[in-house]
Amino acid sequence: MHGYPNYDVVAARDTAHCDAGGSSDIPRELESRLLAGRAAILVRSNAHASGIHGIAFAVAGLAMPSLANFMATHCRGIVSATLDAESALRLGLSLGARPIDRGIGRGFLVSVEAACCDGTGISAADRALTLRTIGAPGVSAPDLVTPGHIMPMLVRPVAGNDAPLPDIAHMIVERLQDGRRFRSAAWCDILDEEGCAASSGHCLALAERNGLPVIRWTSSGLVFPLGPTSGTVRSAASGEHAA
């Protein structure tokens, strides 16, 4: 047991607030973890059309092979990275040739690989290299080739409670102290043992087993863990273990 709080019983008194456009209220311990290239779990407390209740995410520009391996092995979804429209345009990346619109607000771009990758691209080390390349402050179009083994996703500014979880992860990365330097989140959907979208309970159990902090997206905004034993901090926003 790693002692991260059970959010069903955490006292509401341990909260603080900031608006979506304000300064970061990310707890220092969590921020330090993310800036060390480690992962966190982001779960949704309200229902969502996509059925996706949780993702694992980290700072793409700091991704290591252990992160890519954790996502592929324990989360089981597609390993991806977020890009805003400006970055996608600068890198010359477009939406897939025949994009599918299922009404869940996700727009995957063409798959990519780091141009400097000399392996097959699918190993944890190669995928981590591609994630770091996508998230590098000075990345440019020649640094990436297509097709590849990482699926970048186009994100939009978070607006409303139904925002896709990758958009929220991207927002969290931008709120870090080095957010202006790291503008991409590595992320992966969490699936259960049957290969279906995992429940919130499954996501929390995964976090507990691996010592990962959990961030909740609620109708009131983001709820962050303060630390291993000390409750939560709420950031109102509208409109080395395995990793």
| Domain membership of residue 90 as a residue range | 28-235
Per-residue pLDDT band for 107 (boundaries 50, 70, 90) equals: confident
Phi, psi of 82 (to 5 degrees): -90, 145
Query: CATH number for the domain including 206?
Result: 3.90.870.10
Residue 19 lies in a domain: no
pLDDT of residue 192: 92
DSSP 39-106: -EEEEESS--TT---EEEEEEGGG--HHHHHHIIIIIBS--EEEE-HHHHHHTT--B-SS----SS--
Using the predicted structure, report yes or no on whether residue 99 has a pLDDT greater than 80: no
More confident residue, 30 or 22: 30
All residues at 6 or more sequence positions from 198 whose CB lies less than 8 Å from its CB, including other chains: 53, 54, 190, 191, 192, 206
Residue 17 lies in a domain: no
What pLDDT, in 10s, does the model give residues 40-95?
999 987 655 455 689 999 999 999 999 999 999 999 999 999 999 999 999 999 88
pLDDT of residue 90: 94
pLDDT of residue 243: 57
pLDDT of residue 225: 77
Count of domains for the chain: 1
Using the predicted structure, report yes or no on whether residue 179 has a pLDDT greater than 70: no
| Dist CA 103 CA 170 (whole Å) | 20
Residue 177 lies in a domain: yes
Cβ-based neighbour number of residue 133 at 10 Å: 23
Residue 188 lies in a domain: yes
pLDDT of residue 4: 30
| Dist CA 79 CA 58 (whole Å) | 11
Residue 147 lies in a domain: yes
pTM flag (> 0.85): no
Residue 3 lies in a domain: no
Phi, psi of 137 (to 5 degrees): -55, -40
Residue 240 lies in a domain: no
